[in-house]
Structure 1
């Protein structure tokens, strides 16, 4: 079964919109609507409806997982290159609730379709593979990002592992890739080979994985 898109999607895809100027878009809800935008059209096509369904599923899975709010906050903030900061009384599940409600309002206006699903994507074999790669991949956070990262890398690994086991291995893997890109964390060749294998098992598109190519050691970061 093929995915509806070859690019990133769901919560990990949404995180990319929380760049350094996201606040000019508006509140979290406005960022969600921008992400799901139908432009000038009065109706949404099936791919847009599937995107909304995937985002809603990610949020529901993560909110219902064993992760505490602090770990949810860490995963989301790292996925946004720390451009989204939790302040005051806001907690991880409060943010997920805002995203979920925005999704449901969008779906009420533009239509709702079943989320794409394949038994292979949630198999124990895939869960084990994602957890193994999370535990074994070198995650060397560049020094310029360490000022934001108050916890040990082991806590990041534990959060991704818990996400894979109690929420979704699919989401955990996509968050891992997003965290690489957002924080310019190098990808070793051995990890790249394993990432390709997992991406294939999860039927993730080639454009998603190719977004990490600039982090491979023989290319270095590309300039914008």
Structure 2
């Protein structure tokens, strides 16, 4: 079964919009609507409705997971290279609630379809492989990560592992790729080979993993 999109999608795709100038779009709700934009159309096509479904499922699975709010905040911050900052009383689950509510509002207007699913994507085999790369892939974190969180790569690995085991291995792997991309973390050759294998098993589109090829150039990957 092929995915509905050749690019990143769901929560990891949305996080790419929280770049350096994201606040010029508006608040979180405006960013979500921008991500799910139908442009000048009055109706959404099937792919757009599937995108909303994927986003809603990612949010629900992460909110219902065993991750602490602090771990969710770590994943958001690392996936946006620190461009999303939690302030005042906002927590990881508060943010997820805002995203989920906005997504449901969009669906009420443009229609709702089930999120894509395939037994292979949630298999024990995929879970084991994702958890293994999370634990073993070299991750050279930017220095500001440690100064901001007072922690390092071990805590990030723990958060991603918990995401894979109690939310979704699919989401955890996409977040790992997003963290590489957002922070320009190199992908070593051995890791790239394993990433390709997992991406194939998860039926990711051709542009999701290939967007990281420039990070693996020194290892002659791609």
Following TM superposition, by how much is the alpha carbon of 1:147 offset from its aligned partner in structure 2, in angstroms? 4.1
Where structure 2 has 5 or more consecutive residues not aligned to the other structure, the ranges are none
TM-score, length of structure 2 as denominator length: 0.96
Give a deviation string over 1:48-104, Cα, whole Å, max 9, x none. Answer: 000000000000000000000000000011101110010110000000000000000
For the 8 Å contact 1:140–1:185, the answer to whether it is kept is yes
**CA distance in 2: counterparts of 1:85 and 1:144, whole angstroms:** 13
* Matched positions, count: 220
For residues 126-165 of structure 1, give each alpha carbon's deviation from its aligned partner in whole angstroms, at most 9, with x where no partner exists.
1110000000000011346554453120000000000000
CA deviations over 1:109-138 (Å, ceiling 9, x no partner): 000001000011001111110000000000
Q: Quote the Cα distance in structure 1 between the aligned partners of 2:20 and 2:150.
A: 20
In the alignment, structure 1 residue 159 sits paired with structure 2 residue 129: no
Closer, same or farther: CA 92–145 of 1 in aligned 2, 3 Å = closer
What residue in structure 1 maps to residue 130 of structure 2? 130
> Which ranges of 4 or more aligned residues in structure 1 deviate by more than 3 Å?
142-149
2:30 is aligned to 30
User: What's the counterpart of residue 191 of structure 2?
Assistant: 191
With normalisation by structure 1, the TM-score equals: 0.95
Aligned partner of 1:84 in structure 2 is 84
Mapping 1:1-224, distance limit 5 Å: 1-143=1-143, 146-218=146-218
Per the alignment, do residues 182 and 149 of structure 1 end up closer, same or farther by CA in structure 2, a change over 3 Å counting?
farther
Q: 1:132 to 1:219 in 2, by over 3 A?
A: closer
Contact between 1:145 and 1:183, CA under 8 Å: does it hold in 2?
Answer: no
Cα offset for 1:218? 1.8
CA RMSD of aligned residues (A): 1.3
Cα separation, 1, equivalents of 2:15 and 2:7 = 13
Q: State the distance in 2 between where 1:142 and 1:38 align.
A: 36
SS of the residue 2:218 aligns to: coil
Separation in structure 1 between the aligned mates of residue 151 and residue 207 of structure 2, nearest angstrom: 31
